[in-house]
């Protein structure tokens, strides 16, 4: 009776690079008025692609966390 074997190995270090370097180019923004969900004004493609960068939501989350922490400290000192 044959038995199954399992081999473990370390994953490739390229899987752990941040941010990933080989992201595909995003689709261009929709043309205004082309569909119901399209924006009512034109968006510059460079701004559109920059807003979709992975660093944008991470930065927003970090700023939010720091702001909430500071405001909580102020409220705690004021006894609120």
Pick the closest to residue 28 from 1, 49, 14, 59 (CA basis). 49
> How high is the mean pLDDT of the chain?
84
Q: How far apart are CA 39 and CA 48, in angstroms?
A: 12
Most confident of 3-7, 37-41, 48-52, 58-62: 58-62
Q: Would you state the pLDDT for residue 75? A: 95
Domain ranges of the chain: 54-80
Q: Give the pLDDT confidence of 10-45 residue by residue, as tens digits.
A: 888 877 777 666 667 777 777 887 878 777 888 888
Residues 6+ apart with CB under 8 A from 71: none
- Give the predicted TM-score (pTM) of the model: 0.52
């Amino acid at each position: 009776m044959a038995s199954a074997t399992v081999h473990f190995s370390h994953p490739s270090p390229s899987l752990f690079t941040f941010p990933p370097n080989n992201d595909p180019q995003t689709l261009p923004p929709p043309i205004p008025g082309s569909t119901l969900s399209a924006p009512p004004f034109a968006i510059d493609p460079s701004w559109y692609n920059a807003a979709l960068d992975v660093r944008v939501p991470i930065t927003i989350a970090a700023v939010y966390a720091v702001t909430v922490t500071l405001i909580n400290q102020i409220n705690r000192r004021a006894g609120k």
